[in-house]
Structure 1
Amino acid sequence: MSEQTRNFSLCGHSGAGKTALSEAMLFNMGVVNRLGRIDDGTTTSDYDSAEIERQISLKVSLLNGQWQDHHLNIIDTPGYADFISEAKAALRVSDAMVTVVDSVTGIEIGTERTWNFAADYNLPRVLFINKMDRADADADQVLEMLQERFGRQVVPLQMAVNPGEGFNQIVDLVAMRAYAYQDGKATEGDIPDEVQSRAEELREQLVESIAETDEELMEKYFSEGELTTEDIVAGLRQAVLGREIFPVFFGDAYNNVGIDRLLDALVQYGPSPVEAAGLRFQDGEEQEVELEGTATAPLAALVFKTLAEQHVGELSLLRLFSGAIKPGDEVANSSKRTAERIGQIYHLNGNKRTEVASAEAGDIVALVKLKNTHTTDTLCAKGASLQLPGIAFPEPLIRVAIHAKEQGGEDRVSTGIAQLHEEDPSFIMKYDGEVRQTILLTQGELHLETIVSRLKGRFGVEIEMEVPRIPYRETIRGNADAQYRHKKQSGGRGQFGEVFIRIAPKGRGEGFKFLNEVVGGNIPSNFIPAVEKGVVETLSEGPVAGYQVIDVAVTVYDGKHHPVDSDEVSFKLAGSHAFKDAFIKAKPVLLEPIYQLEITVPEEFMGDVMGDLSSRRGRISGMDADGHFQVIHAEAPLAEIDRYATLLRSMTQGKGFHAQRFDRYEEVPGDIMAKVIENSQKNKGKEAA
């Protein structure tokens, strides 16, 4: 039953302990009989050889188990910045998020980003302050940081009794009972005298916070001075679902302290799939749609991840928002407008599969051997056309040019990359005809490394990388006239065509315009299109440095023809040469792509980052404070921000990140323009050789 299911993702910064928490949850649910360790490469979640080697999660891992007669679907997500898109995909199909926070470092950039993703999806959020056994753990300071950043809705439901080395005691502020842990097992008891008054103070704050979210509870609290436990539990659940309270829990996942209490809370206060935020959305025509999260409703399911597993093939990870499926069912892929037949259905725990007879609303399962269904596709009832909102992945930040190491290997590279892209749409590969290179765009350096490694490991293809060329543009600042006569006589019929043209600059973004002002038939009208064709073909490889020409107006106003020797080829060549001559005389300039940057860094790195931006011809347009972070709004030329994500991470000790997007083209300064032209001529010489 959907009401007995809970779907949540574990998110947060890299190293906060998400995978250790997922392992402790599985242990408590009896899915595993011993706690796997990241150092030993024995966790259920991080089973990939690259994850074991690097000791970090590189992709989402789907886990499940039973707790208090409820089925829990848990998605462990990577915290490393290069793989943040995996967390975004996981949150798209989750009903709540557990934000895992380190007890010493508190809020980090990964905490912020995933919190914002969850807010975009309107998800209830729970905070778990982990690693409370660290010698320098500071529960109060981290709690204060969370409240300062995420608001007064951040309310502790527990109190850590003895933070630091040997941490093993928690007070439940709802039940007002203490829990002491020994080897992961809790013993319930009275609250120790030395923390009784502090616990009462925190409970009063909790009750007030709950009462503030409901008028009836507020009136009862004011008139009676207290709320019953039943009132607190019911009010708290509604406040969590309404995102009016973000409850905080404390624990130590590595030593399995407090994990059972967190699981209890997720069952008690977390949303069921019937209450999921994902059931309500706007369709392509901005009409409000509300799905019914039940098995009897029409099918609506979203593929949020595609995995390639040895001996199995492709696994499609699927969240059913409504309806049900079983093997043999025919369904529609409304994203691709194709039909699919459902094969085997599995529950996953890492790479361990358990076949199930069917799946229904609220389930998160893996399907095998779907013909043409990939990440972000919607499956719906046969004959229906419903499309669920997809997943908007962050813009890639690293840009490299690639080619096959072996001659003739380009097709295998394309095939391999295409298959990897179906599994991971957060990177892009495209052939850029302007710079004549195949460009691979990824979320970061490690993301790039994993793609290259998978290409080699799975497809036996090696690639070489180089710095991608910049797609400069050429244009003019002045007006000019030019005349060119094309004449060729080599026995028999010759070639002849003469044109007079003038060129003028157009406004940025106005494009190319061709005008015919020839009068008196000096160029017969049937040859005018040939003149235009000659000019247009030259636009793709400009006269200055071989880059695309933009924003010019060309007018042909006179010419000469020969009644026998003139033909289309003659006028095409004359038009091309006349254009080149005029262009060089019309104060030509190079334009370069300018990117908008939004750089988020802790305040202590502001000076370094701003100084570095200035050295990259960057311009800062503004700054905003965002909690403990500063957001710098800037712009810089693409030529100066090659692999900027890597540089920023190095400058900020991994605590900064940025987003970038193309904005416009702008003139290249004269000294840099001279270097670009010189390099272009050298490259032409190499290609000719």
Structure 2
Amino acid sequence: MGDKAHTHPGAAGRAVAADQPASIRNVVLVGHSGAGKTTLVEALALTAGALNRAGRVEDGGCVSDYDDIEHRQQRSVQLSVVPVTWDGIKINLLDTPGYADFVGELRAGLRAADAALFVVSAADGVDGSTRMVWEECAAVGMPRAIVVTHLEAARADFEEMTRVCAEAFGAEDPDAVLPLYLPLHGPEGPDGHAPVTGLVGLLTQKLFDYSTGERKESEPGEDQLPRMDEARNRLIEGIISESEDETLMDRYLGGERVDVETLIKDLERAVARAAFFPVLPAAPAAEGARQGLGTVEVLELITRGFPTPLEREAPTVTTLDGTPRELKPCDPDGPLVAEVVKTASDPYVGRVSLVRVFSGTLRPDETVHVSGHGLADRGHEDHDVDERVGALSMPFGKQQRPVPQAVAGDLVSVAKLNRAETGDTLSAKDEPLLMAPWEMPDPLLPLAIQAHSKADEDKLSQGLARLVAEDPTMRLEQNQDTHQVVLWCLGEAHADVALERLRTRYGVQVDVVPHRVSLRETFATKAAGRGRHVKQSGGHGQYAICEIEVEPLPGGSGIEFVDKVVGGAVPRQFIPSVEKGVRAQAAKGVAAGYPLVDVRVTLLDGKAHSVDSSDAAFQTAAALALREAAADAKIHLLEPVAEVSVLVGDDYVGAVMSDLSGRRGRVLGTEQVAGGRTLVRAEVPEIEISRYAVDLRSLSHGTARFDRRYARHEPMPPQVAERVRQQERAAS
């Protein structure tokens, strides 16, 4: 921020420590996949001295060696933490995946951080999902800055990208999104592209040359001043407009010169309170170089402009019975309140929990209370247990470096919390507390699976339990209607990672099978049936005859049983037997094997034998009567219909509505939403939206989101019903 010259303040290969919240910064890196977040993290770690020039920590391992799956898929799939030190400040860099399927990891990073670096590629621009995350950060007042990467790309234009960022992120005030530095270009190469070799500090009017791999400061030449002046004047006006000194703007416009130190202090305050969002260029170090372009400037911004954990409001906390509990912001001596923001499994130490401490101090080998809201609909049980904390360590890639404690404001890895899951609260065992939950995206892509072999079947249950314990964005369903095990995921990549982890981490091989929806049957017309169950084979025989009438009822009525027998044709003690037989057969179905619903079954007449009639006989006769009635009636196949709400940018509303109509959907209405978006409400058969999470993302270029909830079952069109029946016959 102050354009200070730095050489090598980091501590290579040593564990970083923070004794007080004021010496900690928690920063999450946000951006689309391929924007260069992980590369930037490595460049910052190299500049801070946490890595050597080969990009490796002193005691082995690379900062990006997080997960074998990431190497195979060539993209980040999980949140990772890289701690570095700069000017005596510990910086926890939280690197998040940019792919939409792993938004749960992004949300965890946002929960654990106090500020955000939005990483934008000069070659690709700003996508819709990045805009949406910016809006989320704005809603909670999180300080933000923008780092423009890929400046080496042939079509890269930093000034143009700054304008794009101001347009995308500065909806309320474009002058709040301005560059602090401009890139310096070297001589043009054979391809006509001039590489970026340094930066111009607009406030101090200093040049910083990175061409040798070491940051060197110099004065600008006369030919560079005109380019600097326009950008500098606009930056100064942007900073002054956010100054707490309301007279400063008038004095500046009146010709008074504002000194650089005043501007820097106002800038730091504006950034910390999320009123100003600086833009900085950055690039990784060239081979053999020690400092990447712009990395010193980014580290300066983080340490001087981003807030400490002390400046974050205390989280909303209650006792376990719901009584509010007031906390001081980030008090190391206060009651212990920490949250599990990520859960992972290590083949050597077992479960490892990444924890953000919000209050108090967490120490190894102490007993804490683990409490959680539970996500029963996602296969997560509620928690209210005491557990002993294992070793505390600081993650660095695959490395875990032991630390003696973690104070309020810090992040730490905790070993052997076997019951704690992501989102759970850790507190003192004699003063259990519970943090308000954070929003989790709803998984809407079903993945039906079955064990590949008998050996896999024995391990499947435990493997799935551990999988969903690590990932709260995944929902496990044991569907009682279809008898399928279904993993609900956020997208195809999310599903692929889940299957890979089951196979490699938990040793469970599964097969993916077609997902089935819960169909039903009902009578479309009134029908009658007679069930006769008469058998004689020595001793007591079986004798039961009953006559029924079946008529359709409105949707949602279930099965209604009516007794209209007169004259004791069916003895009173066997009436419940008839009803039991009817309901048992209805559960099995009468045509295609799906449960029968929404009918009234009336028992009209029957016959009994004084010796051979029994409960079992009348149950069997009732089932036969219901099947006979179905044989003479028209049977409708009922399909579940979902209420779907799609939030989409105005540019894609027409395409979304057309697509929903093509899925046999009925659009119920639309309404305008702030930010140039529209909410489309529709009813769509569930069989048509199994892959809607994937298709909508493609249709809207990742800018739309939707939710769904069951509405009702209704008759399926005959041609669709016949197709379903053919598929069922082929599968069997």
TM-score, shorter chain, exceeding 0.5: yes
Residue 563 (structure 1) aligned to one of 584, 607, 610: 610
Residue equivalent to 1:451 = 498
Q: In the TM superposition, what are the counterparts of 1:628-667 in structure 2 within 5 Å?
A: 636-646=684-694, 655=702, 658-664=705-711, 665-667=713-715
Amino acid at match of 1:179: F
C-alpha distance after superposition, 1:440-488 (max 9, x if no partner): 3322223222232233223333222221223222234444444434333
- The SS at the match of 1:127 is strand
Residue equivalent to 1:141 = 160
Distance in 2, matches of 1:313 and 1:133, equals 42
Distance in 1, matches of 2:619 and 2:277, equals 70
Distance in 2, matches of 1:43 and 1:674, equals 57
Amino acid at match of 1:591: L
Residue equivalent to 2:245 = 217
Residue 579 (structure 1) aligned to one of 626, 629, 632: 626
C-alpha distance after superposition, 1:591-625 (max 9, x if no partner): 22334556678888888776665544345555869
Distance in 2, matches of 1:79 and 1:177, equals 34
Amino acid at match of 1:188: E
Give yes or no for contact 2:81–2:396 (8 Å, CA) kept in 1: yes
How big is the shift at 1:321?
0.7
2:316 corresponds to 1:268: no
2:177 corresponds to 1:155: yes
Deviates more, 1:110-119 or 1:437-446: 110-119
Give yes or no for contact 1:21–1:254 (8 Å, CA) kept in 2: no
Give yes or no for contact 1:217–1:231 (8 Å, CA) kept in 2: no
Residue equivalent to 2:6 = none
Residue equivalent to 1:248 = 279
Residue equivalent to 2:718 = 670
Amino acid at match of 1:155: V
2:428 corresponds to 1:394: no
Residue equivalent to 2:3 = none
Distance in 2, matches of 1:229 and 1:280, equals 39
Deviates more, 1:60-69 or 1:659-668: 659-668
Deviates more, 1:299-308 or 1:177-186: 177-186
Distance in 2, matches of 1:507 and 1:162, equals 74
Distance in 1, matches of 2:209 and 2:601, equals 83
- The SS at the match of 1:453 is helix
Q: In the TM superposition, what are the counterparts of 1:93-242 in structure 2 within 5 Å?
A: 93-119=112-138, 122-150=141-169, 151-153=171-173, 154-162=176-184, 165-194=194-223, 196-197=225-226, 199-213=228-242, 216-223=244-251, 225=253, 229=260, 231-242=262-273
Residue 298 (structure 1) aligned to one of 299, 313, 335: 335
Residue equivalent to 1:16 = 35
How big is the shift at 1:31?
0.5
Give yes or no for contact 1:121–1:277 (8 Å, CA) kept in 2: no
C-alpha distance after superposition, 1:232-283 (max 9, x if no partner): 4444444434433333222224551112111111122212112225624688
Residue 422 (structure 1) aligned to one of 469, 486, 496: 469
Question: Could you say if the C-alpha distance between residues 533 and 192 of structure 1 is closer, same or farther in structure 2, counting changes exceeding 3 Å?
Answer: farther
Give yes or no for contact 1:45–1:76 (8 Å, CA) kept in 2: no
How big is the shift at 1:345?
0.7
C-alpha distance after superposition, 1:99-118 (max 9, x if no partner): 11111321114413433553
How big is the shift at 1:643?
3.8
- The SS at the match of 1:279 is coil
Question: Which ranges in structure 1 are unaligned for 5 or more consecutive residues?
Answer: none
Amino acid at match of 1:36: G
How big is the shift at 1:673?
0.9
Deviates more, 1:216-225 or 1:263-272: 216-225
Distance in 1, matches of 2:547 and 2:406, equals 74
Identical-residue share of aligned pairs (%): 34
Residue equivalent to 1:56 = 75
Question: Could you say if the C-alpha distance between residues 53 and 2 of structure 1 is closer, same or farther in structure 2, counting changes exceeding 3 Å?
Answer: same
Q: In the TM superposition, what are the counterparts of 1:543-562 in structure 2 within 5 Å?
A: 543-556=590-603, 558-562=605-609
Amino acid at match of 1:310: P
Residue equivalent to 1:315 = 352
Question: Could you say if the C-alpha distance between residues 224 and 454 of structure 1 is closer, same or farther in structure 2, counting changes exceeding 3 Å?
Answer: closer
Amino acid at match of 1:325: L
- The SS at the match of 1:579 is helix
- The SS at the match of 2:123 is coil
Distance in 1, matches of 2:417 and 2:671, equals 48
Q: Count matched residues.
A: 679
Question: Could you say if the C-alpha distance between residues 558 and 603 of structure 1 is closer, same or farther in structure 2, counting changes exceeding 3 Å?
Answer: same
Deviates more, 1:275-284 or 1:487-496: 275-284
Amino acid at match of 1:130: T
Question: Could you say if the C-alpha distance between residues 202 and 490 of structure 1 is closer, same or farther in structure 2, counting changes exceeding 3 Å?
Answer: same
How big is the shift at 1:32?
0.5
- The SS at the match of 2:196 is coil
Distance in 2, matches of 1:354 and 1:529, equals 69
Question: Could you say if the C-alpha distance between residues 559 and 394 of structure 1 is closer, same or farther in structure 2, counting changes exceeding 3 Å?
Answer: same
Distance in 2, matches of 1:595 and 1:27, equals 51
TM-score, reference length from structure 2:
0.83
Amino acid at match of 2:359: S
- The SS at the match of 1:20 is helix
Amino acid at match of 2:279: V
Give yes or no for contact 1:305–1:317 (8 Å, CA) kept in 2: yes
How big is the shift at 1:147?
2.8
Residue 533 (structure 2) aligned to one of 479, 486, 489: 486
Distance in 2, matches of 1:564 and 1:199, equals 107
Give yes or no for contact 1:545–1:681 (8 Å, CA) kept in 2: no
